[in-house]
Amino acid sequence: MKNFEQSVEKAMADGVILGAVVCAKGKVNYSKAFGNRILTLKAEPMEQDTVFVLASMTKLMTGIAALQLVERGLVKLDDDVASLLPVLAKQPILTGFEEDGTPITKQRTGPITLRHLLTHSLGGSYDFASGDILRWRKIQNTLGKPGVTIEEAFGHPLLYEPGESWCYGTASDWAGKVVEALSGLSLEDYMKQHIWSPLGVKDITFWPAARPEMANRMCSMSIRDTRSGKAVQSRKPIAMTPGAKEAFGGQGAYASMGDYTEILNSLLVDDERLLKKETTAVMFQPQLSGGSRLALNEAMSNPQWAVGYYPQGAYNWGLGGLLVEGKTESSWRKAGTMLWGGAINSAWFIDRATGVCGVFGCNLLPSADPQIEVLMKGFEEEIYKKSAEEERPNSRL
């Protein structure tokens, strides 16, 4: 991993990044902490147990939780779960605006299924991903007013009939509400009992403030200074879900990268501590077709909005993240590789065909920083290179 480590060291010297923690498992077992997690008052080095904002990397855990409920027979992927989500169920479909700005809507006619929620084919978009939702929120005077519950934050119209298209958005947060409704547990308690504890991990939570031993290891937020272009520590705390009163299954968790990697590795090696082998196989199968698949690939044809390295190629969506469906310009990734990122410039991947998984942890804004994308790509390339070396006969002689 010499080339990657040198590139990170240079990036820190150049002010591109203040620090990072990276982990990989499978055919390659590697972990390393770089730089500092905090600079103000007294510099504190980045450690293996430093806690990061997961942001949208939370979505993978919510997908696992939902699939566990499918395994237990509490719900099927194509069951209509609208009755469990009354605020979402009453939302119309936004079709446009009158000349005077009045929204034009129509009533939803189809079901809302768990599959729609796990594949972002629901129609519920984040405002940053949709000009129409942004405009609607301005009209409603809710823009810039983050809700403290999922209903408050995301109780806005859909953009299309569920299943007919694709847009990145609020679906995983609603999936978390389904998990709570069917399990009778808060999302935090459910994941603790059925995801984190079975893996023996303790450094994941939606509520770090209630866990002083974790809060004291939090990575500070850094930002890209607009004048110098260098990474600097933010003078103010930046929260993904400020004032949240419930767990947001699409963006609200915090974790050390080592503990998060244990989740990736369980899916990689099929140890059945989280999901049965047959369920994991379905999780890694393409779920989108027709208009929804076309819409996803159109969005990924210009992926500057997405955190991670996404070269041109064929993509689909599984039940836990983006899937590489065919050849891409990153020739090392095999078809079926699942991957995604979080808004604070962290990203993960699982390649079951090659036998490797990994995560790049960083706390920096703005999202989808192109300079950090270069480091993410370098990390992945080195992991695959090392994996290939491990497969060569007598490679250790």
Lowest mean pLDDT among 14-18, 325-329, 382-386: 325-329
Q: With 70 as the cut, is the pLDDT of residue 136 above it?
A: yes
Query: What CATH number is given for 2-57+201-391 in this structure?
Result: 3.40.710.10
- Which candidate in 56, 130, 256, 367 is catalytic? 56
Does 301 participate in catalysis according to the annotation?
no
Q: How far is CA 274 from the centre of its chain?
A: 18
Name the catalytic one among 160, 168, 315, 384. 168
**Where are any strands of DSSP class E within the chain?**
19-26, 30-38, 44-45, 51-53, 93-97, 103-106, 204-205, 222-224, 231-233, 254-256, 313-317, 322-328, 338-342, 346-351, 356-361, 364-365
Q: Is the pLDDT of residue 395 over 50?
A: no
For 197-232, how does the pLDDT look when each residue is reduced to its tens digit (9 = 90+)? 999 999 999 999 999 999 999 999 999 999 999 999
Domain boundaries along the sequence of the chain: 2-57+201-391, 67-183
Mean pLDDT taken over the chain: 94
With vertex at residue 289, the alpha carbon angle to CA 304 and CA 268, rounded to the nearest 5 degrees, is: 70
Tens-digit pLDDT profile for residues 275-301: 999 999 999 999 999 999 999 999 999
Q: How confident is the model at residue 120 (pLDDT cuts 50, 70, 90)?
A: very high
Average confidence (pLDDT) over 142-171: 93
Please give the pLDDT value at position 23.
Answer: 98
- Confidence category of residue 90, pLDDT binned at 50, 70, 90: very high
Query: Over 50: is that where the pLDDT of 111 sits?
Result: yes
Catalytic residue status for 56? yes
Query: Of these residues, 59, 177, 192, 377, which one is catalytic?
Result: 59
168 is catalytic: yes
